[in-house]
Structure formats: structure tokens, C-alpha cells
Amino acid sequence: MIDMAKRSESERASYFPPKDGVRTNFEIIAPIGRLVDPILIEGLPGIGFVGKLAAEHVVDDLGAKKVATLYSHHFPHQILINKDGTIKMLTNELYIYKDPKKRNDLVILTGDVQPTTSKSQYEVMNIILDFFADTGGSRIITLGGYGMGKLVEKPRVFGAVTDKKDIDAYRKHGVSFGEVEGSIIGAAGMLLGLGRLKGMNGICLMGETHGNYIDHKSAQRVIEVLSSIVGMKINTDKLGKKAKESEGMIKKLEEELAKGETAQPIEMPKKKEDLSYIR
């Protein structure tokens, strides 16, 4: 295991320097030090934004510290405009939360977008996994949504694991198995698949969601299960409040669509957490 805090300044500035014109730059921006049996938590944009909402809420509630930023030519060719008129590159970011009880530190991956092609998914996720391996980590939990095509009153959390022997342990935390099938597209699946090839193990937690709307309720349920798995108290009251704010509008929209009405689109509240720019 490599102690990240002892890396030279040049190494920290570009952990994975460009090779052969490939421009995926992983910049370590803060000392990391030694981590205790770390767990990688991934939550990037996907179905219902469940994973991204959950990961960002965990970062905020626990007060995790940003330690690294990843820029890549594999991300869409655009920038974001901040409220103050400045610009922001599309990035993925890594945060560290050091467990006060010294059981499992968390390495949390979230960001604006995912890589856009199969080749780029392999490249970027391998970079993330190599970094995680250097922190001494071997356990991965990816977060996402499972689209049902309908509104879900009480979302369940489905699971897919790298090792069948772990299923019973995860069931005790409220994860459902054997009720869904298909594929897991993007980072939530690739980190597990590539991670297993590197000797890592883990699970994908998928919250039931409609699929066409930002789903705070599903993200809240995913965090409740995640909190149980990692043994950390994570308050989800803010997500619950946001879920109630949006439920009425979503139900009204569904009713209008069912009637075939062509009313003016109902806009979601324009708040900081509105992520519609990357749909």
C-alpha cells in the first residue's frame, strides 16, 4: 500500500499523467494519508439520479473532504456556468471520510458526468480502481437506480454482488436479491466488474425509481441501506423533505400524461440540486 501523503508534489499534481495523447488527468489536491480498511462508494449520474443524489448527500452529511479531481477528454465537450458567472469543467471528484471509530474509512466518488463510450468507461474506471487499490481498499459499493417505468411509493433496494456468498449478509441490511435481472450500465457496473478482476469485492445498490424523474425518495432509501451496511449514522431528513416537495408535481404530471393532455410542462424547482443539465 502506498501512503498518499508521502507522494511528491509532482506526483500528486498528476497521479496518472497523459500517455500517447490520452488526456485523462487525475489530480490529487489534498493530502490523504493512510486509510483504515477503506470502502469505495460510487454515485455518478444515472437513472433517476439516485446514485448521484445519494453520494452527494453522504459527502455533505458526513463532511467528507475533497482530495482529488479527474478531468477527461472522454467527458462531453461542454462546460458548466456557475451562478456567479464563472465556468466549471466537467469532472469526477473523490472525497475522503475518516471513520472516527477507525473501522472503515470511505472513499466517495461522484461527479458531473460519466465517460460516454465503452472504451472510456474501461479507461476511467481502471484509473479510479488503481487509485483505490493504492489506498489499501478492496471493497466497493456502487449506488444507482433501477427504472420501473412507474411511480414507486415505497422503493425497495435491489442488490447485485461480485460474490454469491455475501448475499445473506447484505439481506440482513434490507437488500433484495433475485427479483431483477438485466445489466448494469456505466460506472456502477464497471467498477464492480473490473474491481473483481483486481481481487476486489462489492455490491451495487439499486433503488427502485420511475426513471424519468429526479428521485430523492429512492436516494433516501438507498442511503438508509448503505448506512446500515457501513455502520454509520447518515441523516436523510433533507432528502425526505425534497421528496415530498416534488411528489405532488410528479403525480400531477403523470395524471396529465395519462389523459393525453398537452398542458404546459411542469417545471421542477430551480434549486442548487437540480441536475437537469446532464440528462
Is 146 inside a domain boundary? yes
- CA-based radius of gyration for the chain: 19
Residues 6+ apart with CB under 8 A from 270: none
Residue 131: is its pLDDT beyond 90? yes
Total domain count for the chain? 1
> Do residues 215 and 209 touch, judged by C-beta distance below 8 A?
yes
Instruction: Give Cα separations from 23 to 19, 71, 103, 199 (angstroms).
Output: 7, 8, 36, 27
- Residue-range definition of the domain harbouring residue 27: 12-258
Residue 266: is its pLDDT beyond 60? no
Q: Residue 16: what pLDDT? A: 53
Is 270 inside a domain boundary? no
- Helices (H) and strands (E) counted in the chain, each on its own, are 7, 11
> Domain containing 223 — which CATH number?
3.40.50.10900
Q: Write the pLDDT tens digit of every residue in 32-80.
A: 999 999 999 999 999 999 999 999 999 999 999 999 999 999 999 999 9
Give the closest residue to 46 by CA, choosing from 235, 278, 251: 278
Q: Residue 258: what pLDDT? A: 74
Is 274 inside a domain boundary? no
For residue 175, give the 3-state DSSP assignment.
strand
Q: Residue 138: what pLDDT? A: 97
Residue 134: is its pLDDT beyond 90? yes
More confident residue, 257 or 109: 109
Rounded CA gap, 110 and 96, in Å?
12
Is 276 inside a domain boundary? no
